[in-house]
Amino acid sequence: MEAQEWTRLAKKAVDIREEVVKMIYRAKTGHIGGDLSETDILVDLYYRQMNVSPENQKDENRDRFVLSKGHSVEALYAVLADKGYFPKKDLETYSQYGSKFIGHPNNKIPGIEMNSGSLGHGLSVGVGMALAGKMDKRPYRVYVVLGDGECGEGSVWEAAMAGSQYGLDNLTAFVDRNRLQISGTTEQVMHQDSAEERWASYGWNVLSIPGNDLYSIDDAVDLAKHTKGKPTVIVANTTKGCGISFIENKAAWHHKVPSEAEYQEALKELAERRATL
Amino acid sequence: MSQAIKKVVAEFLQEAGKKDRDIVVLCSDSRGSGAFGPYAEELPEQFVEVGIAEQNLVGISAGLASCGKRPFAVSPASFLSTRSMEQAKVDVAYSNTNVKLLGISGGVSYGALGMTHHSATDIADMASIPGMRVYLPSDGPQAKCLMKELVKDTDPAYVRYGRNAVEDVYEEGNVPFVMDRATTVREGKDLTIIACGEMVWQAKKAAEQLESEGIHARVLDMYCIKPFDGEAVRKAAEETGAILTVEEHTAYGGLGSLVAQLTAREHPTRVRSLALPDAPVVTGTTPEIFKHYGLDAEGIAKAARELVG
């Protein structure tokens, strides 16, 4: 990735984080920590790697994306609005009475392929999408973003078995490895280490990267594309709440809503970040 | 003649699959139980084995459907309706994916294998999910008519049928079938017996016995639990004044509940429900279990006499 391209994506990541903070502050609800940790993954996929756009949303060869950690939907909404799937103004209805913009993805919203919210569903769905691609010899690729806490669900591992059984090299999963979940660290709640060894033992190609680094994310996706015969999991070692200092790496910010002062401070930090780019 | 519904369904899909490569059958180590061995042999590219993993079975099916496939997910009804109920709710019904869930070896088909293998709650489980249709065909010829409809449409559905051969209620090639409308198996004016699945044949036999005693029982085959044919029930209440429901399912949230709700609302009527108990069922073969709980022709006739007497 060229430096200029990196700058373009880094600016997008600031825009998305800003929109996430505004949406959650306005609605007084949302999963801010996970939104901010996954933002860079979404930015690389939606603005560089995936062939998806409002124009090709019915195209059978479009890439497929499933947000298995569905509670981090605000960042996805921000990306889809910015890409033009629906007017940005619609985000103002997020979580409001009668809005279709609920707190988890649903496919009534343009750009969203599958409903999620209950954890442990997305990877199986991604396996099905990738299998369909193989059956029909279509060139599309399937991307699934999982939370690390989510990997406590047994169904994730059922899907992991099937992914390697069927050699789904058109399937790439991200684990947003921010090491926190509602009740504390993943290692306290139910240990996940070594996530890399677990996935490798299930027959997946495993890449472990700094998960908020756009260069690393992009390189990993490229590597996944060139890996044949098995699916790839990218263990993205992220920082929960990434980009806003007082939210970073604190379990309490899983779904905390910023106060007025915190809101202003968050916007200020994001503006300062933008100024450096 | 008697035949197993599972064989009829599997053979139907094998023929349909040869003409439509988007038809995909998925099994959870259940191809033998579901009679899908020959399908898997002939159409390996349209067959997916997921192993013993019912949640994954349904999730993968939803993913396939979202990419244009027409998946049929096959697993014992006991596991499909409970272990993967959340996938049925979220990935299939809520996401509105074109997945057909085939609950094989339903009800107490597994006989002495016990409660783990009985699906006595699947009507309640599946019918309570918004957007999920529920069907319990009563015999092979009707199952074929149902499959012809399901293979064409694009909405989610759950179908439950048994493991063992059942007597044909209808004549092959001459099945009075209208999609989502109860079938009148026989007319009658003294009461209506409403049954579904394997209970329909038992109800028909009971009605024949009652006829010889001068009791004219109407028999309705409510194979379509959801969408429910409320009109047929209302008419039965109005015209016959008493209803006996028979189901291979618990009384909680089953056919009897649906009938009682409808009649209470639209035409209050005496309704009696024959169902499985709110407990693990007695050990035995399927016929022994039916007999034990009065779900065989004899038990149904006895309950009918009491109701009209």
- Residue A236: CB partners within 8 Å, gap ≥ 6? A41, A174, A175, A176, A177, A209, A211, A212, A217, A220
Amino acid at the residue A193: D
Per-residue pLDDT for A150 more than 90?
yes
d(CA A132, CA A66): 15
C-beta atoms of A131 and B63 within 8 A: yes
DSSP class of residue B88 equals I
B93 and B216 together in one domain:
no
Residue B57 has pLDDT above 90, yes or no: yes
Q: Contacts of residue A64 in chain B, CB cutoff 8 Å?
A: 66-67
Cβ–Cβ contact A112 with B under 8 A: no
Among residues A147, A13, A148, A33, which one has the least CA distance to residue A78?
A: A13
Q: What is the mean pLDDT of residues B198-223?
A: 98
3-state secondary structure of B144: helix
Instruction: Note the pLDDT tens digit of each residue in B153-175.
Output: 999 999 999 999 999 999 999 99
The whole-number average pLDDT for the span B55-76 is 98
What H or E segment, with its residue span, contains residue A232?
Answer: strand A232-237
For residue B17, what pLDDT is reported?
Answer: 98
Residues B209 and B150 in one domain: no
The pLDDT, as a whole number, for residue B309 is: 86
Q: Is B55 on the interface with A (CB under 8 A)?
A: yes
Q: By three-state DSSP, how is residue A25 classified?
A: helix
Percent of chain B with pLDDT over 90: 99
Element (H, E) at B25: strand B23-27
Confidence bin at B34 (pLDDT 50/70/90): very high
In a domain, B177, yes or no: no
A235 SS3 class: strand
A209 has a chain B CB within 8 A of its CB: no
Residue pointed to by tokens 């605000």: A74
Average pLDDT on B236-264 reads 98
Question: Average pLDDT in the A103-123 region?
Answer: 97
Domain contains B204: yes
Residues of B in contact with A154 (CB under 8 A): 55
Angle at A144 between CA A141 and CA A149, to 5 degrees: 160
Strands B133-135 and B224-226 turn out to be antiparallel
Chain A residues 81-110 with CB within 8 Å of chain B: 106-107
Enumerate residues 83 to 102 of chain B having a beta carbon within 8 A of any beta carbon in chain A.
86-87, 90-91, 94-97
A127 interfaces chain B, CB cutoff of 8 Å: yes
- Mean pLDDT, all residues of chain A: 97
Which chain B residues are within 8 Å of A60, Cβ to Cβ? 67-68
Q: Do A129 and B61 touch (CB under 8 A)?
A: no
Q: Is residue B172 part of a domain?
A: no
* Residue B291: closest CA among B305, B306, B274: B274
Same domain, B98 and B148: yes
Residue B140: pLDDT over 90: yes
Q: Provide the whole-model pTM.
A: 0.97
Q: Which CATH number fits domain A3-276: 3.40.50.880, 3.40.605.10, 3.40.50.970, 3.40.190.10?
A: 3.40.50.970
- Residue B26 domain boundaries: 2-167
Average pLDDT over every residue of A14-35 = 97
In chain A, the percentage of residues whose pLDDT exceeds 90 is 100
How far is A89 from chain B, CA to nearest CA, in Å? 25
Tell me the chain A residues in contact with residue B71 when contact means C-beta distances shorter than 8 Å.
128
b/e burial code for range B259-277 (CB count within 10 A of at least 16 → b): bbebbeeeeebebbbbbbe
Q: Rounded mean pLDDT of B238-265?
A: 98
Question: Which one of B45, B63, B86 has the shortest CB-CB distance to A118?
Answer: B86
ipTM (interface predicted TM): 0.97
CA A102 to chain centre: 17
Peptide bond into A194 cis (omega under 30): yes
Measured between CA atoms, the residue of chain B closest to residue A165 is B50
Over residues A194-215, the pLDDT tens digits come to 999 999 999 999 999 999 999 9
